[in-house]
Amino acid sequence: MPATTPASSHILLIRCPDEPGLIYKISGVLFRHGLNILRNDEFVERADNHFFMRTELAGELAAEDLLQELRTTLPAADIRLSDNRPKNIVLLVTKEHHCLSELLVRHAFQELNARILAVVSNYEVLGDLTRQFGIPFHCVSHEGKTREAHEVEVQQIIGQYAPEFVVLAKYMRILSPEFVLPYANRLINIHHSFLPAFVGASPYAQAYERGVKIIGATAHFVNEQLDQGPIIAQSVIPVNHTHSAAEMAQAGRDVEKIVLARSLRLVFSERVFVHHNKTIIFE
C-alpha cells in the first residue's frame, strides 16, 4: 500500500487554463481520496483565461496517488502538493540592522514558517547581532574584488546551505543577472519603492527636500531587471512637513521591515503564485 501522511497542514496548489467545471473536477478527486477541504481560494486571471487555486486539506493523504489522479483529470495543469513545512532560507545583509533584527526575532519565536540557516554580509557590522541568535554569520568582503569575483564567493557560501529562498534584507549591492538566474522566484528583496524618483545613497534626504507626503516600501521577487520583479507586498505610511530627513528615514525603516516580514509569511505559507511579471496572492 502507498504511504499515507496526516494532512493537517497539506496545501494543494493548481494553476491551469480556465475551463467550465474545474472546481467540480478537483473537488471530486479530493472526495474520492477521503479528503476534507478546510479552506479553498480560487481566482481566474481573465486577461489570459488562467485559473489559480489554493486548497488546505485534512485527512489521510497518499500523495502520489492523489497527484496522479489530479494530473490525469487535468492534463494541462501545473499541480503541486505542499506539506507547508518551514522553508530553509539564507539572508543577505550589509550594514542596516532593522530588517535583519525583525526577521531574527520572528524566527526566534517561530513566526516566519522558515529556518534561517545563515546570514551572509559584505561587512562584519551585523555579525555580533546575528550570532546572539545562534545563527551562522559569514562576512565576504567586496573590497578589492570585481563584482563577479565577489558574487562567486557569496554563491559558494550560499551553496553550502542549499536554501529554498534567499532574502535580501537590505543587501545594498546590485546583483548580476548571472547571480539572480539560479534563484528564479526564490530571491526576495525589500525596496523603498514609493520613492521612485529618489535614487542613490540618500533617498530619504531627497524625499525631505521634495516634501513627500507618504513613505512606503515594496517587497518583490528579484529578476534580471533589478527592481522590476513581481511584487509580493507593499505598504505606505503618511509623513508631512514636520518630519525631518532622519525621521523620514526611520519611518522608512519601520515600514520596510514590516513589509518584508509580511511578504515572507505569504511566500512561505504557499499563498503566492507568480504569473508573468506579477503575483496572484491568496491572503
Classified as helix, coil or strand, 76 is: coil
Residue 102: count of CB within 10 angstroms of its CB: 20
CB neighbour class for 127 (10 Å; exposed up to 12, middle 13-18, buried from 19): middle
The letter for the amino acid at 166 is V
Q: Supply the DSSP string of 15-71, one letter for each residue.
A: EEE--TTHHHHHHHHHHHTT-EEEEEEEEEETTTTEEEEEEEEESEE-HHHHHHHHH
* Distance of alpha carbon 29 from the chain centroid: 30
How many Cα neighbours within 13 Å face the side chain of 10? 21
Catalytic residues: 227
* Among 283, 233, 282, 230, CA closest to 260: 233
C-alpha dist (Å) from residue 148 to 154, 169, 197:
10, 21, 29
The C-alpha atoms of residue 97 and residue 260 are separated, in whole angstroms, by 13
The C-alpha atoms of residue 76 and residue 229 are separated, in whole angstroms, by 26
Residue 223 DSSP class: B
